Amino acid sequence: MLQSALRVSCTSPKVMHWITQLLIWLSEDNYANTLGDDLSVFSDAIEEIAKNAVREQFFDVCEDGVYAMGVSTPHIVFNYLDYLLWMSEPKKYDDFTFEFRNSVEHWYPQNPSEGTFESWTDGVDQFGNLCIIQRNVNSKFSNMSPEAKKSTFKEMISKGSIKLRIMSELTEKGDGKAASLYWKDTLYKEHEADMIDMLCRACHPEEE
């Protein structure tokens, strides 16, 4: 699963450095003695490659704990997070597979359909409001409200990224507000805190 996560994150042969790193590790003189019959050592080596990518491309770039890279957020961040979510509840997500989901989208849209609901500028690019989907999904997805996406794209969401599934599940009315506004004002922050915490515990365990 982790190799699949890396494969779909690096779509061009020119950027598939993880394979080179893994081959170097496999070719080290002490490889045979290190691995033996314990394949978990091999898995740990692959995971360290993924963790390093998330640290270097996400945590080291986002300053002052502000995770607002918008559509520039590296795909490996979403895919490694999906891997962690899958590992945490494998039975719940036993139907999940990694696919080439190559489009980073806003759950609450950056440019809402005119006259439908209010625009949002101060937090729209936050990691908690972002998801990754297939590029060929209907372009209308971009400008629809969260609740409209939830009802219109049920099948796509049910087969999609685990983070996207969680965002859809969370999108409900609250505090007397419509689901979209409640997401924008409150829920995206809670979702982001949970997702960043999971990534931090995996990538920076020494800081716990």
pLDDT band at 12 (very low <50, low <70, confident <90, very high): confident
Lowest mean pLDDT among 12-21, 57-66, 76-85, 190-199: 12-21
For the stretch 154-163, contacts whose Cβ atoms lie closer than 8 Å and that sit 24 or more positions apart, written own/partner, are 159/95, 160/101, 160/131, 160/133, 161/78, 161/82, 161/101, 161/131, 161/132, 161/133, 162/81, 162/82, 162/85, 162/86, 162/93, 162/96, 163/78, 163/81, 163/82, 163/85, 163/131, 163/132, 163/195
pLDDT value, residue 89: 96
pLDDT band at 115 (very low <50, low <70, confident <90, very high): low
pLDDT of 156-184, one tens digit each? 999 999 999 999 999 999 988 989 999 99
Number of residues in the chain: 208
What DSSP element (H or E) covers 104?
strand 103-106
Give the domain ranges of the chain.
2-207
SS3 content of the chain, % helix, strand, coil (to 5): 60, 5, 35
pLDDT band at 207 (very low <50, low <70, confident <90, very high): low
pLDDT value, residue 17: 82
Distance CA 98, CA 75 (A): 12
Q: Using a pLDDT cut of 90, give the percent of the chain over it.
A: 62
Question: Is pLDDT at 9 greater than 80 in this prediction?
Answer: yes
pLDDT value, residue 208: 54
